[in-house]
Amino acid sequence: MDNRVPRKPVIFCAVATALLVLADLLPYHHEGPHLPSLYIGISFIGCGALILLAIIIGWLVGRREDFYER
Amino acid sequence: MSVDLLLSPGFIIIGAAVLLCLPTARWRKIVVGVAPLLALLRLWALPTGSHGTVAVATFNLDLLHVTATGRLFASAFLLAVWLGGMFAAASASRRELISAYVYAGSAISVTLCGDLITLFLFWEAMAVTSAVVIWSARTRAAWSAGMRYLLIHLFGGVILLAGIALWYSTGGSLQLGVLQRPSLGYWLIMAGFLVNTGAPPLSFWIADAYPQASPTGMVFLAAFTTKTAVYVLISYFAGADILIPIGLYMAIYGALYALREDNVRRILAYSIVNQVGFMVAAVGIGGEMAINGATAHAFAHIMYKTVLLMGAGSVMLSTGEQRGSALGGLARRMPWTSACVLIGAAASMGVPLTSSFVTKSLILEAAAEHHLSMVWLTLIICSAAVVFNAGVRFPYLTLFQPQQSEAVEHGHDPGTLSRVAMMLTAAICLLVGLFPGYFYTLLPYPSNYHPYNVAHILEQLQLLLPAALLFFISLPLTTPVGQIQLDTDWLLRRPLLAMWHNGIMRLLALGLRSRDYAVASLVRGYTLLFHYHGPRGILARSWPTGSIALWVALMLVSYVILFTLRSMDMATFIKLYLHG
């Protein structure tokens, strides 16, 4: 399997995220107090933690696919 | 039984299953295309409330009881069986279609019944018929997975029945309504329902069993069992706090396990656990907005998961592959499938203008409204993590990554009827997202929530795009090939199976030994009896008169001695004996 990081999707997502950071500075209407880029931070930290946890779980309980057939 | 009851939407679908026995494929297609629509019309013609009961022993079974929640769930099921049936009509076996229809009819009947006994009967019918849908794939793996699936669900059924019996014996009502008095029966009923949602520690069965079904079978399986369980949780346990952590665990579990999965249908199966987690948590939160959210999201989930599984099924039917590491590059070969899958994936992530954007936000809003900040935060993160399963991972591995194997070259869109079914399902995902106001009027409680505002749209995109960026960057780390993740099913498949086999063998051996011993004892006893009482036996002989006189004399002497001993005390006897 091709295990490289796909370039085009990464560039697209990075540019779109940067634009969203900028968009958050626009004076649109918020209900209640607003922390700019709060959701981007939550997404990065939360999903990063999930990826890390998934890698650890994979390392702990990952087995060959014929594990139950052997 | 009244005509109203006989024409219950669930019974119409079960009746259609009988018609599917017709030998002509053309007639089967007509039944598949018409019956669910008739049932849908019938459902919406029925006013809310009970439509008659049937007395069985001392119970009054409320076979048809329409509620706003039940009606929306039943509508989603009818749409799923209609579209799924159209998709499957060309390629599914007759056995699969018939069992899928009885399964769907039973699920619809669960959402339209008014008491726990009727619920239990249809609940068990669902378990058996869905196992037949899995077995219809006719592979060894499907057989084993179907057996494990049936074992888990029958176990859940036993718990549920015990709970209902205990609940009733302690004065609880069997009628439809939120159970109020926590007792052992209450907890057992809840546990029985939770088994079907894929709650811990039995979350594994969805990813274990569903992907072993045929490409068309999984389309049916994904729609009914888990969502029926969500419906009964809403009906009987709305506001039960314990459901919140259970739902959060499921949401995290689904996101984590999907991230390390190579099989695209297993990715979608984990995504089911992830999304049902949202609904279970919403039921736990309780309140009008949360229940509206759980109901609306169940409807949206049935639709977008159906279109995604139709896409996966089309890929599998044309290429014979379901490993992400062997797919890719199918977007140009399967343009209609790709377009529908993209709509389904967008709907699963909650991209604006799609169904999940207007349904999942009800649940998040309800968590915020109840000031459950940690619940809200966890759900927000899990909402972004949908990118890791159905949202981006599934379409990327299947359609957009570079071609990984030669099998992909056989990829093509499915036939017209299947394609139409897929497009209609995708259209429903868009319609719900485009016209949320109308959709909200179908929910159990009135809602004045407005999902479309600049802040909400931006926040949603701010959640999804960084998650997608992280997904692509970490792709080499999170794509194990030829690997599975062990789950709690390991206990069932290794130590418990070994114990079962050993136990059975030992019992058999013990049984054989006991049988041999019993037979040997019987033979010995008979030989002994024959020895003394047989024709030559000592007790069967005719004795001479002298022998008999001797025996009589001996008996008389014994009698005299015994009489003497009995009539004198022990001291006199000893004195007589010692002094003559």
State which residue of chain A sits closest to B323, comparing Cα positions. A1
Handedness of CA B248, B358, B390, B85 (dihedral sign): positive
The answer on pLDDT for B373 being more than 60 is yes
Q: How far is B445 from chain A (nearest CA, A)?
A: 24
pLDDT band at B464 (very low <50, low <70, confident <90, very high): very high
When pLDDT is averaged across residues B120-146 and rounded to a whole number, the result is 93
The answer on pLDDT for B578 being more than 70 is no
Strands (DSSP E) found in B364-454: none
CA–CA distance, B573 with B564 (Å, rounded to integer): 9
Say if A11 is an interface residue toward chain B (CB within 8 Å).
Answer: no
The answer on pLDDT for B324 being more than 80 is yes
pLDDT band at B569 (very low <50, low <70, confident <90, very high): low
CA–CA distance, B402 with A30 (Å, rounded to integer): 42
Which among B325, B462, B474 has CB closest to A20?
B462
- What are the tens digits of pLDDT across the range B178-189? 888 888 999 999
Q: How far is B278 from chain A (nearest CA, A)?
A: 17
Q: Where are the domains of chain B?
A: 1-185+194-236, 238-476, 510-541, 546-580
The answer on pLDDT for B84 being more than 70 is yes
More confidently predicted of B392 and A69: B392
Helix/strand/coil for B90? coil
The answer on pLDDT for B259 being more than 90 is no
Residue B211 carries which DSSP code?
A: G
The answer on pLDDT for B1 being more than 70 is no
Q: How far is A29 from chain B (nearest CA, A)?
A: 7
Neighbours of B474 (CB within 10 A): 19
Contact present, B357 and B431 (Cβ < 8 Å):
no
Got the DSSP string for B475-510? TTTS--SSEEE--THHHHHTHHHHHHHHHHHHHHHH
More confidently predicted of B347 and B489: B347
The answer on pLDDT for B405 being more than 90 is no
The answer on pLDDT for B43 being more than 80 is yes
Contact present, B84 and B223 (Cβ < 8 Å):
yes
pLDDT band at B430 (very low <50, low <70, confident <90, very high): very high
CA–CA distance, B433 with B122 (Å, rounded to integer): 32
When pLDDT is averaged across residues B335-343 and rounded to a whole number, the result is 95
Chain A residues touching B402 at Cβ < 8 A: 2
pLDDT band at B568 (very low <50, low <70, confident <90, very high): low
CA–CA distance, B157 with B506 (Å, rounded to integer): 29
Q: How far is A70 from chain B (nearest CA, A)?
A: 11
More confidently predicted of B390 and B109: B109
Chain B residues touching A54 at Cβ < 8 A: 256-257, 259-260, 388, 478
Q: A47, B470: Cβ pair inside 8 Å?
A: yes
CA–CA distance, B446 with B159 (Å, rounded to integer): 35
Say if A69 is an interface residue toward chain B (CB within 8 Å).
Answer: no
Please tell me whether the peptide bond between B201 and the residue prior to it is cis, using omega within 30 degrees of 0. Answer: yes
* Tokens, residue B498: 């070994």
- What are the tens digits of pLDDT across the range B527-549? 888 887 777 776 766 667 777 78
Lowest pLDDT segment from A42-46, B177-181, B243-247, B310-314: B177-181
When pLDDT is averaged across residues B59-71 and rounded to a whole number, the result is 90
For chains A and B, count residue pairs whose Cβ atoms are closer than 8 Å.
148
The answer on pLDDT for A43 being more than 80 is yes
pLDDT band at A1 (very low <50, low <70, confident <90, very high): low
Q: A5, B486: Cβ pair inside 8 Å?
A: no
- Per-residue pLDDT at B6: 77
Handedness of CA B212, B217, B222, B227 (dihedral sign): negative
When pLDDT is averaged across residues B492-498 and rounded to a whole number, the result is 80
Q: How far is B147 from chain A (nearest CA, A)?
A: 15
Name residue B485's beta-bridge partners. A62
pLDDT band at B488 (very low <50, low <70, confident <90, very high): confident
CA–CA distance, B290 with B296 (Å, rounded to integer): 10
Closest CA to B142 of B265, B305, B21, B253: B265
Chain B residues touching A51 at Cβ < 8 A: 259, 388, 470-471, 474, 477-478
pLDDT band at B577 (very low <50, low <70, confident <90, very high): low
- Per-residue pLDDT at B508: 82
Give the mean pLDDT of chain B: 89
CA B574 from centroid of its chain's CA atoms: 86
The answer on pLDDT for B200 being more than 80 is yes
Q: What ipTM was predicted for this assembly?
A: 0.92
Q: What percentage of chain B exceeds 70 in pLDDT?
A: 96
The answer on pLDDT for B504 being more than 80 is no
When pLDDT is averaged across residues B499-518 and rounded to a whole number, the result is 82
